[in-house]
Amino acid sequence: MRRRLVLVGLIAACARTPASVVVGSKNFTESVILGEIVAQRLERSGIPVVRRLNLGGTFVCHEALIAGQLDVYVEYTGTAYAAVLKLPATNDPVAVRRALDSVYGARWQLVWGRPLGFDNTFAMLVRRADAERLRIRTLSEAVPHAGQWRAAFGYEFVERADGFRGLAERYGLTIRGAPIVMDLGLTYRALASGQADLIAGNSTDGQIKALDLVQLEDDRHYFPQYEAVPVVRRETLARHPGARLALDALGGTITADAMRDLNYQVDVRHRDVRQVAAEFLDRHPPAGGVR
């Protein structure tokens, strides 16, 4: 109840009208970019939009959506399955999607749309110099060395069922001391500067290339798929029939390489999110009758 009241307080100032769609995002670069792409796609279809980007983590956005303070945001299938529904991890994407469609629809009247086209799994990252010196390329090969490493993780990776505790159990992984918990964006600099030796990033982050980091292969297949998908209130689709067509037009348009480049443009080149999103949509006009 307290979380819901806080959410209402945070979002009450949002200048929404019955004619507008409120688009939200989580508080990291990729989510903000995807929120802006969704917002502009709707606007190009003639639907007024109110932006509530950079709102918070998974649970803040989910609670805002079911409370009616948001109409749509982009979520990741593996995150929703494990963190929101609290179901045991599985590598079966069909079973994951079936559960999400069923539970989200029946419990909260929420609709999962078409996947945007990429899977953003957790990426266990080390410095390239360390990977080459130790001759490691997989998580299993890293285990004998990890006891001397300091780790820095984002808040959700420490707490989630599909996060560090499960990973440590699957691989028998131990690290030096407790993980340092910080904002996800700060973990990259902590790794690059030597303050940490292992972080859990996102596989589509542009900073992996920019900071010359190496993603260790998940050779025991611990992480499920994390497909990026717009989640929207059923009532919103009824109120705005064109919204479904606009959102569906984004389906399959964003590859993993394209998402890495979008993140790179914003995080590394420090370009404006709105401009980056607009350029992407200009390069990927929708087929059919959607404007």
Can you list the alpha helix ranges (DSSP code H) found in the chain?
2-11, 29-44, 58-66, 77-79, 93-108, 128-134, 139-146, 155-159, 164-171, 184-192, 207-210, 234-239, 241-248, 256-267, 273-283
**% of the chain residues with pLDDT over 70:** 92
User: How far apart (Å, rounded) are the C-alpha atoms in residues 184 and 153?
Assistant: 7
What CATH number did the domain enclosing 168 receive?
A: 3.40.190.120
The enclosing domain of 269 has a CATH number of: 3.40.190.10
Q: 61 lies in which domain range?
A: 2-12+20-119+226-283
pLDDT on residue 17? 67
With 80 as the cut, is the pLDDT of residue 48 above it?
yes
Same domain, 234 and 274: yes
Task: Name the token pair of 47.
Answer: 């639907």
> pLDDT at position 274, please?
98
* Residues shown for the chain: 291
- Placement of tokens 């769609």 in the chain: 21
Q: What was the pLDDT predicted at 12?
A: 46
Identify the CA nearest to 49 among candidates 240, 179, 200: 240
109 and 236 inside one domain: yes
pLDDT in tens, 147-176: 999 999 998 899 887 889 999 999 999 999
Number of domains composing the chain: 2
In a domain, 289, yes or no: no
Domain end residue (candidates: 216, 243, 265): 216
194: Cα within 13 Å, side-chain hemisphere: 1
58-96 pLDDT, tens digit each? 999 999 999 999 999 999 999 999 889 999 878 899 999
pTM for this predicted structure: 0.82
